[in-house]
Every structure is written in structure tokens, then in C-alpha cells.
Amino acid sequence: MTTTDGLLLLDKPGGLTSRAALDRALRWFPRGTRMGHTGTLDPLATGLLVLCLGRATRLAEYVQRMAKTYRAGLQLGARSDTDDADGLVTPVTGASAPDAAAVAACLAGFVGTIDQVPPAFSAAKVTGQRAYDLARAGQEVALQARPVTIHSIVILSYAYPYLELEVRCGKGTYIRSLARDLGERLGCGALVASLRRTRVGPFAVEDAVSLETNPETACSRLLPAEAALAELPQLHLSTHLVTRLCQGQTIQLGARDLVPSNLEKDAEVVLHDHSGRAVAIATYDARRKLLRPEKVLGAGS
């Protein structure tokens, strides 16, 4: 049976879960095609959803690690039980409008690696159960803070009660939590009114297809599976070393093997054969100049 492999960039519309959008996209491809997405978007959110098809599903974790960029519209002066406009919105009585300088100073405090508590209505787990299942059942949800990284926050516009931001962040960051915590620090409350994911690593929403795309166009827009590895260092080896590594052997690199000088100990690298095809992912021990295979890629993956 012919398999369909690669990455597909999808522009998810509002009002759908990521799973529902994936299920609709799956209809474009042959029955039995494996497909997974690489980062959930809430129903309210629109924008880039990177789908992995076929053998590319083995590489989903590398896309999940990539930085994400969002355009977020926040409403100040109100709170929500879901931290966005889809929940029960309650105006904050007596809330006063913070000035632009106060908003900017407060936002600066969120840049870097911070501890963030996920929203109660989220897929985070509490004692093995999804938080949103407990919250919908009326149970109190106590989630633990976890470290996340926010690379940058840019204020695009501010006219109280509306604040528009561009946020670039790492894996696991909740923009709803950022809005909630910003509102608490400013003392006026805040929630996400609109959210659009515009980038995932090197992938841009401008290059994505919509759910109205026809199957032929969608299939023609598949990216090679190796695109999931775009942000890992690349290493080209001799056929002999590639063969040994693909057999599961740890290999010792010699003086003639060209290794990027900025590789750190235990860095992951993508290994290519003489034709330039990605054949494996390995961990590089810079001190001992060893490569240990982590994932051997079959043909087409």
C-alpha cells in the first residue's frame, strides 16, 4: 500500500478543536493514513497547526519543541472561568484602566523563563485526569506551576480595555495563563478575546492551507518529513559510518569528520547519507566525540 508521508501546514479556523480540524484534513488523504498534530489550539484560536502524516508522526516531538508565535487580543477589566472569551465572563467591578507604561512594565516581567500555572480548563493532567474534565464536572482544579519560556512580548496596540500583543514563546506556554496573570498583576483582570498562531519554528501561517482546500492541492502542499528536523544541527557522514550507526552502533568520530564547532555535549544532530537524505537522529558527546543513535529513520521518513 502506498503511504503518504510529510508535514502539512493547516490554518485552523475558529470554533473547531484541533482534533476536529485534523479529522477533516484527514479526509484529503488515503484511508489508513496516520496523522497527528504538534500543538493544540483552543477552539477560540485560529492559525497554524502543523500536521504530521505517515512516518513523519515519528518526528512530531521535534516540531512540538519549536518556538511558537501568537497574535493575542486581550480584554482587560474582566475575568473568565476559562481565561478566554469562550467562558463565563465577569466584569471586574471598579477596575481602573492602567496606563501604557504600567502595561509595558508589567509585561516585561513575564519575559524569560517563568513559572506558569495552566488554566483550569486545559489538557494539563491532575492525578491522571484532564483538568478540563474536572473543571466541567464542577470540581476544584489545583494545578501546579511549571516552568515555561517566553522569548518576547511586543505590544501592537493598546486602547483600554483592548490590548493586542505578539508573543513568541516555548513549548507548554498558555497565552490564556499569561492574560490571566497579567490581569491579576495590573489589578483589573484580563482574558483572551482572540488568538491566532502565526508561526511554529520556521513555518508560517501564510504558507498554510485552509479546510476549504481541495484534496489535490492539499497533497501537493505536503512538506518532506525532514522539515520537522529543520532546527537541529545537520551532520554529513561517510557511508560506512552511516551504516554502522543505522545498525544501532555508537560510533567514534575521527579528526576528518566535520562537526559543527558550536555543538554542545549531548546535543541532538540529524545525520545524512552521501545523497543528502536524513537517515538518523543521534546524540553527540562533544567531549568524547561519540555519536549514539537515538532514532533511525526508514525510507521516506
Q: Which residues are catalytic?
A: 42
Q: Which H or E run includes 290?
A: strand 290-296
Q: What number of residues does the chain have?
A: 301
Sequence-distant (6+) residues with CB within 8 A of 271 are: 235, 236, 237, 242, 245, 278, 279, 280, 281, 282, 291
Distances (CA, A) of 57 to 36, 40, 50, 53, 134: 6, 15, 11, 6, 30
Q: Compute the Cα dihedral for 175, 176, 177, 181 and give only its sign.
A: positive
Sequence-distant (6+) residues with CB within 8 A of 190 are: 74, 75, 76, 77, 78, 79, 163, 179, 180, 182, 183
Q: Compute the Cα dihedral for 165, 170, 176, 181 and give only its sign.
A: negative
Cα separation, 191 vs 173, in Å, equals 15
Q: Give yes or no for a contact between 151 and 165, defined as CB atoms under 8 angstroms apart.
A: no
**Beta strands 251-252 and 203-204: pairing type?**
unpaired
Q: Compute the Cα dihedral for 106, 112, 115, 118 and give only its sign.
A: positive
Q: Give yes or no for a contact between 153 and 107, defined as CB atoms under 8 angstroms apart.
A: yes
